[in-house]
A and B are shown apart, each in its own frame.
Chain A
């Protein structure tokens, strides 16, 4: 083959690859989901602090149940829920310590809670999120999380609510703010109802400062003592997590408390599905009617709310980023924002 023929053949080959490449790059990240067990700690380069508080999260998503008795069938959305929550907390809310557990066994969950306890400092804000099966023993009125290695009706392979409470109480005893978000059936059995006041129309800065200074141990549950759905309108998320992500993503205020978040999520879920989320406090864990504070990174902090000097967050307003809160747009972009691992891509040259 002479040089001219070689060049022609090469150009045809290149054109085919270029078209394939463009297709691949613009396609959604359909292959990204991992079904294996992974334990991943992430250190962000930017952290959110509020009065010196570090934001930490343990995120658990259980899809692949191993129960050969078929009592616990696999779920579809728990892992994508967990990943989306982790991604959102990382990219929009400056959580600096995020551990994501996929398909976690009982032992893995307990170890992760134990490890989290060791990392917590007195001023920290700690969020624990669980998506997976839940169970209520109606005879003893005992609730459980169901790890992926749960076996049939053997309750000893489940994770009892009292154990979860104990672990969270230890974390809460060391942290300033602790928030458990549980997206599972019967998750309402974990909590005791409690009412906190809404922020006043004026003097919000004082309100946020006041509740941030008080210890909080809060829970937001996908439902009360009821079954909850695994999927919502082909969104790839459960209804509860869909609206949770939606609220956090489209929140256009720099500061939102867990109570405000849960009120909005409860309303949205109840308006669109038969289930009714609940929120409250963890009994006996030292809650002082404080509030877990979410600080959004990409909203100007000086709009209104807390004073600038109280918040150590670099802020930035992206043009056109304001969102009409009444409009529910697309499902939360789990893969849209660029995770840190894509930050060191090769330098392209010609």
Chain B
């Protein structure tokens, strides 16, 4: 408790900069991203690992008012596992008929952030991930609250370096029942190029690392990562 109070105090003291953010109405940004990604991991119990490649598509809506911002993000994609797949915990669903298993992955994020410093902000993320085993009657939902830090640094008039890092605690459910807990971390670093005052493009590297502990004592580790290509529009 003491260290959290200390951290809060440190944030408040150091964020009291002489910077005055420009007065402005609410700014709305729309963004679209694609991420050819690799999904690999380990079923700890039994020791089998899994590996898949796939891609994700993401849509962002971001609102910003001076130091405060908020946004919604919807992301979805499919991953095809050739050899090995994440175990279906607490599932009575039949095993996959073929060796190839496809998992549809959907992510939803509701983000609230605040620029405590001119180029660095802290944010909270209400996160939800749903993995659905395609053609099998099984899905698992991972949802929880995370916190993170994000920052940027302009390189010149057009290029901006940005990055973010955060951690999330997850609750795992399947068929409406809680089946375990998890925790994850995410990291992203990339560059943004301002084409003009309203449009920019981004390229970044993003990785997510999640560890799940299920109520049946089994554990899983998941890593999803790859390059992300995006475009943002701010009218």
Chain A interface residues (CB < 8 Å from chain B): 3-4, 6-7, 10, 14, 17-18, 21-22, 24-27, 29, 31-32, 34, 38, 40, 42-46, 90-92, 94, 297-298, 314, 316, 318, 320-321, 329-330, 333, 335-338, 340-350
Contact = CB atoms under 8 A, between A and B. Distances in A.
Contact of B154 (A90, A298, A342, A347): A342
Secondary structure dominating the interface of A = loop
Interface stretch (B21-29, B85-93, B95-103): B21-29
A346 B125 contact: no
Given A7-B221, A31-B155, A343-B64, A90 B22 contact: yes
B171 interface: no
B111 A349 contact: yes
B40 A21 contact: no
Contacts of B182: none
Interface stretch (B3-11, B131-139, B156-164, B172-180): B156-164
A26 B230 CA distance: 25
B24 A45 contact: yes
Contact of A7 (B155, B166, B223, B230): B223
Contacts of B21: 91, 337-338
A318 B234 contact: no
Nearest to B221: A7
Given A38-B157, A92-B20, A341-B160, 18 more contacts: A7-B221, A14-B207, A18-B187, A22-B151, A26-B120, A29-B154, A31-B155, A32-B155, A32-B157, A42-B197, A336-B17, A341-B157, A343-B29, A343-B64, A344-B200, A345-B152, A346-B162, A346-B232
B55 interface: no
Secondary structure dominating the interface of B = strand
Contact of A27 (B20, B41, B153, B157): B153
A343 B23 contact: no
Nearest to B167: A350
Interface residues of B, number: 78
A350 B166 contact: yes
B53 interface: no
Given A10-B223, A29-B154, A316 B118 contact: no
Contact of B119 (A4, A25, A91, A333): A25
Contacts of B25: 45-46
Contact of A346 (B109, B153, B230): B230
Interface string B176-208: 000000001111111010100110101010011
B154 A348 contact: no
Contacts of B69: 347
Nearest to A87: B22
Given A344-B27, A344-B29, A17 B187 contact: yes
A91 B22 contact: yes
B78 interface: no
A129 B150 CA distance: 36
B46 interface: no
B73 A349 contact: yes
B148 interface: yes
B18 interface: yes
B123 interface: yes
A343 B20 contact: no
B150 A348 contact: yes
